[in-house]
């Protein structure tokens, strides 16, 4: 990317321009706080199914994923059963989980990653990436389908697929997202929030660092997104220009 050089001004003019811009930054902060408050007032959905997951400690029900906490964040990592492709975008986000998780667990929040692939396919990749967070498989349940992040062949063929609260034709059997749950004192579990598509951006700290730099995210390649430059963190030495396709 060839940068267009910005104006170079005196210290006084520089200070004044940045002082004015700070008002826009404050507007964004206040708006973000307002939206977060509105999010916390959204209605909840009581879950009726007793989903069971495959974990490293054996089968676990959804309520058990909370551990001893009342709130649960689930990140839906794209991993289709039997597919050798490992999602670069999901991996990019997952690289940011362990640092936050050590604080969340001390603030009444459990964070668990869920994929539809069986645990035998998940664990080797988790070990390769050096991640420590809890990662379970929903292979034997309808969890991913009910959360509208996985889709059957029939749904894909008919175009009867809903993602990010929008019905539209899709090609991928699995897509990413975040789902948030609350467990009441009597054990009832509620779905309180869903975030899909670019809703995952706030969870990617590297993006927020880049947004402060002169070049920004610099995603100016053929895909105009993270696929232009992000690699699995142990593959940055490889100079590849091919975009891996997701399993379809």
User: Could you tell me the CATH number of the domain that includes residue 100?
Assistant: 3.40.30.10
Torsion sign across C-alpha atoms 51, 183, 34, 206: negative
- Domain-embedded: residue 152: yes
- Domain-embedded: residue 77: yes
- Domain-embedded: residue 34: no
| Contacts for 230 with CB less than 8 Å, ≥ 6 apart | 88, 89, 92
Under DSSP, the state recorded for 228 is: G
Smallest CA-to-CA distance from 90 within 145, 131, 139, 118 is with 131
- Domain-embedded: residue 211: no
Q: What is the pLDDT along the chain (248 residues), one digit of tens a residue?
A: 566 789 999 999 999 999 999 999 999 999 999 999 999 999 999 999 999 999 999 999 999 999 999 999 999 999 999 999 999 999 999 999 999 999 999 999 999 999 999 999 999 999 999 999 999 999 999 999 999 999 999 999 999 999 999 999 999 999 999 999 999 999 999 999 999 999 999 999 999 999 999 999 999 989 899 989 999 999 997 555 554 444 44
Q: How many domains does the chain have?
A: 1
Task: Flag whether the pTM goes above 0.85.
Answer: yes
Structure tokens at 189: 């579990």
Residue range of the domain that includes 189: 45-200
Neighbour-count burial for 38-72, b at 16+ CB within 10 Å, e otherwise: eeeeeeeeebeeebbbbbeeeebebeebbeebebb
- Domain-embedded: residue 209: no
- Domain-embedded: residue 109: yes
Smallest CA-to-CA distance from 76 within 160, 174, 171 is with 174
- Domain-embedded: residue 217: no
Predicted confidence at residue 173, as pLDDT, reads 95
Question: What gap in Å lies between CA 138 and CA 51, rounded to an integer?
Answer: 8
């Amino acid at each position: 990317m060839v940068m267009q050089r910005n104006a170079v001004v005196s210290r006084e003019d520089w200070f004044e321009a940045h002082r004015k811009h700070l008002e826009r930054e404050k507007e964004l902060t206040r708006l973000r706080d307002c939206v977060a408050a509105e999010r916390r007032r959204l209605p909840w959905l009581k879950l009726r199914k007793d989903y069971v997951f495959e974990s490293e400690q054996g089968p676990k029900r959804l309520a058990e994923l909370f551990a001893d906490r009342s709130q649960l964040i689930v990140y839906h990592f794209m991993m289709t059963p039997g597919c050798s492709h490992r999602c670069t975008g999901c991996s990019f986000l997952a690289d940011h989980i362990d640092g936050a998780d050590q604080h969340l667990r001390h603030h009444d929040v459990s964070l668990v990653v869920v994929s539809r692939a069986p645990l035998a396919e998940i664990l080797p990749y988790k070990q390769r990436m050096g991640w420590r967070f809890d990662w379970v498989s929903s292979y034997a349940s309808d969890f991913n389908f009910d959360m509208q992040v996985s889709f059957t062949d029939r749904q894909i063929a008919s175009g009867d697929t809903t993602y990010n609260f929008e019905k539209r034709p899709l090609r991928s059997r699995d897509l990413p997202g975040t789902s948030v749950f609350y467990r009441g004192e009597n054990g009832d579990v509620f779905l309180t929030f869903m975030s899909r598509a670019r809703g995952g951006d706030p969870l990617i700290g590297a993006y927020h660092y880049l947004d402060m730099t002169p070049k920004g995210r610099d995603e100016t390649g053929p895909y105009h997104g993270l696929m232009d430059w992000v690699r699995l963190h142990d593959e940055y030495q490889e100079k590849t220009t091919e975009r891996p396709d997701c399993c379809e």
